[in-house]
Amino acid sequence: MQVRIMIFSLIPLLLHAQDPAILTIGRLRYTGGDWYSNPSSLPNLLRFFRKKTGIEVEQRDVTVSLLDNSYKQVPILYFTGHGKLIFSTKEKENLRNYLKQGGFLFADDNFGLDKWIRKELNTLFPGSRLVPLSWNHPLFKYPFSFEKTGPPKIHKHYGGAPIAYGLFYEGRLVAFYLYNSDLGDGWEDPDIHGDPPSKRIAALKFGCNVLFYALHHGLL
C-alpha cells in the first residue's frame, strides 16, 4: 500500500537542520542502560517506512543527546534498551521544550525499562500522565490497520498482551510508549532473533504507523 501524503508542517525545530527535507529518527543516548541495543532495528524500519509510504527519509538513524543541540535536528526521538533510564534535570527540561515545540518521543521497552519510563514520563508535565491508548486512535489506523488486533507481541517477557500508552500535552499526543511488545526486536535483521516473517512484518508495519503518526500528528 503506497501512501503519498505531503507533510504540511514539520516541527519548528527542523528549521535549523542542515537538510530539513530529509528526515530521520534520533536514537536517544541516555544514562543508565544500553540505549544502543538493537542496532539494525531503526535502519530496517526507516527503509520499510520509505518503501511503504513514499516519504523521503534517511535510511539510517542518528544518535542524539538531550545534553547538546543534536536532538533539535530530528522530528522523532526514539529510545529502547534494558536496565535503567535516568534523565537529569537539564535533559528533562530540554525534552519538555522539544515536545512542546512539536517534537515526538517514541519509547520502546526492550524488557527492563518499564518502571523507569513511567517514572520519567509521568513527571514530565504537571498533571499529565501516561494513559492507555484506545485502538481506534489514528495511530492504529494509518497506513496499516491495527484497530482489531492492537500492537503486535514479538517476544514473551511479561505476561499478557502489549499495551500502548500515550502522554498528552494540551490535548496533543507528544509521546508514545509501547509496553510488553519488544517491537524493536522485530525490526532487527531476520537472522538475529529468528522470528517468523509474519511477526517481523507486523512489527515493521506497526513501527511504520508510529512514525507516520509522529510526522502527521495534528493532521490525522
Task: Show the cell assigned to 89.
Answer: 534535570
pLDDT of the chain along its 220 residues, tens only? 333 333 334 444 443 444 444 689 999 999 999 999 999 999 999 999 999 999 999 989 999 999 999 999 999 999 999 989 999 999 999 999 999 999 999 999 998 899 999 999 999 999 999 999 999 999 999 999 999 999 999 998 788 999 999 999 999 999 999 999 999 999 999 999 999 999 999 999 999 999 999 998 766 5
pTM: 0.90
Q: Where are the domains of the chain?
A: 12-216
Q: Which ranges in the chain belong to alpha helices (H)? A: 41-53, 89-100, 114-122, 183-187, 190-193, 197-216
For domain 12-216, is the CATH number 3.20.20.70?
no
The residue behind cell 528533562 is 92
